[in-house]
């Protein structure tokens, strides 16, 4: 759901909160080392984790973290901040808001998908083969109502009544749109 830049920006924003310039400079240096290490490990074909689906992802995240730590360092130097405060970082705040909006959209889409799946679990899809006589009756009723035969059968099924003794019946009705 999140790109390497999104992950890096989120992590740096949280970790940098309250850090002074010297601590941020250390984070820049650490990120540079980790970026080199992950790129080298990737070149050697080494695995970062057995659970990592994309072997290039950790290297991309460390590269993005390095860039983000540099951005925070440069912002603090330009603005003359003694320590980093995420709320004062307008660009970082904008990116955080965009991430939250994407996250909320993804969660809403997932919830809608799950709701459709639950609904579909209650649905019954069937292929029905009728002999000639009942088939002609259903087709005639469908033609009179201007419907497809499957629509008449669906309306028929919606009106099924099951008696206490297990008998199945359908009260008389006229198929309609």
- Tens of pLDDT, residue by residue over 66-123, are 999 999 999 999 999 999 999 999 999 999 999 999 999 999 999 999 998 888 877 7
Residue 116: inside a domain:
yes
Q: Is 60 exceeded by the pLDDT of residue 51?
A: no
pLDDT at 84: 97
Q: Are 138 and 149 in contact (CB under 8 A)?
A: yes
Q: Are residues 72 and 16 in the same domain?
A: yes
Average pLDDT over residues 16-44: 93
> φ, ψ for residue 139 (rounded to 5)?
-65, -40
Q: If you average pLDDT over every residue of the chain, what do you get? A: 91
The C-alpha atoms of residue 175 and residue 146 are separated, in whole angstroms, by: 9
Q: Does 127 fall in a domain? A: no
Confidence at residue 128, expressed as pLDDT on a 0 to 100 scale? 87
Same domain flag for 39 and 98: yes
Alpha-carbon gap, residue 94 to 13, rounded angstroms? 12
Q: Residue 137 pLDDT more than 90?
A: yes
Specify whether 53 is located in the same domain as 103. Answer: yes
- The boundaries of the domain holding residue 136 are 132-169
For 123, residues 6+ apart whose C-beta sits below 8 A from its C-beta are none
Question: Which SS3 state, helix, strand or coil, does residue 11 take?
Answer: helix
Residue 175 located in a structural domain: no
Statement to judge: residues 68 and 148 lie in one domain: no
Give the span between the Cα atoms of 49 and 41, in whole angstroms. 12
| CA–CA separation, 74 and 36 (whole Å) | 21
Kind plus residue range of the DSSP H or E element containing 168: strand 168-169
Residues 114 and 66 in one domain: yes
Say what the pLDDT of residue 46 is.
Answer: 64
Distances (CA, A) of 177 to 34, 124, 153, 154: 66, 21, 13, 12
93 and 156 belong to one structural domain: no
Do 58 and 29 share a domain, yes or no? yes
**Is 43 found in the same domain as 71?**
yes
pLDDT of residue 145: 94
Q: Same structural domain for residues 80 and 149?
A: no
- Which band of pLDDT confidence, cut at 50, 70 and 90, is reported for residue 55? confident
Q: Which residue has the higher pLDDT, 72 or 58?
A: 72
pLDDT band at 54 (very low <50, low <70, confident <90, very high): confident
């Amino acid at each position: 759901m999140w790109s390497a830049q999104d992950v890096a920006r989120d992590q740096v924003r949280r970790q940098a909160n309250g850090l002074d310039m010297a601590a941020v400079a250390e984070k820049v240096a650490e990120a540079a080392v980790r970026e080199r290490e992950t790129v080298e490990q990737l070149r050697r074909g080494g695995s970062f984790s057995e659970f990592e689906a994309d072997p290039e992802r950790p290297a991309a995240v460390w590269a993005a973290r390095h860039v983000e730590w540099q951005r925070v360092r440069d912002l603090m130097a330009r603005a003359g901040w003694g320590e980093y405060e995420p709320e004062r970082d307008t660009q970082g705040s904008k990116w955080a808001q965009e991430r939250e909006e994407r996250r909320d959209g993804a969660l809403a889409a997932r919830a809608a998908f799950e709701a459709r799946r639950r609904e579909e679990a209650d649905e019954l899809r069937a292929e029905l083969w009728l002999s000639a006589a009942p088939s002609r009756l259903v087709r005639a009723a469908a033609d009179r109502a201007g419907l497809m035969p499957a629509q008449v059968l669906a309306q028929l099924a919606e009106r099924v009544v099951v008696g206490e003794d297990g008998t199945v019946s359908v009260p008389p009705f006229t198929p309609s749109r």
